[in-house]
Amino acid sequence: MSELASKKCVPCKGGVPPLKGEALQALQKQVEGWDVVEEHHLFKAFKFPDFRKALDFVNRVGEIAEQEGHHPVITLTWGKVEIKVYTHKINGLTESDFILAAKIDTISK
């Protein structure tokens, strides 16, 4: 388990600036396969052999999201799940977004 995956998401109360530049790059190196898009959100697509396995994955992601109190945008189609993560309160990225991504990766293997 990565260091990030062992941390807990911290609720954002707003009033903090989103991460930018080098801070984002350092965290991105810890979540393999996740793209930082326009310094605004994380994105990753997961492939599955059928709809059922994709749906099972979505349900497991949902459980993590509930436990962490941090909810991603999830798109489910046949054999594919796309996940977009960002902190809605500040309309950008915080460490908690990377923590959630790392936790999702623990169930995607």
**1 has a pLDDT exceeding 60:** no
- pLDDT tens column, 18-37: 999 999 999 999 999 999 99
Mean pLDDT of the residues in the chain: 93
Cα 68 vs. chain centroid, distance in angstroms?
11
Cα 6 vs. chain centroid, distance in angstroms?
14
- The class that CATH gives domain 34-109 is alpha beta
Read off the tokens for 106. Answer: 């623990």
- pLDDT tens column, 77-103: 999 999 999 999 999 999 999 999 999
Between 3 and 73, the more confident residue is: 73
d(CA 29, CA 15): 26
The residue extents of the domains of the chain are 34-109
8 A C-beta contact, residue 46 and residue 83: yes
The confidence band for 59, taking pLDDT boundaries of 50, 70 and 90, is very high
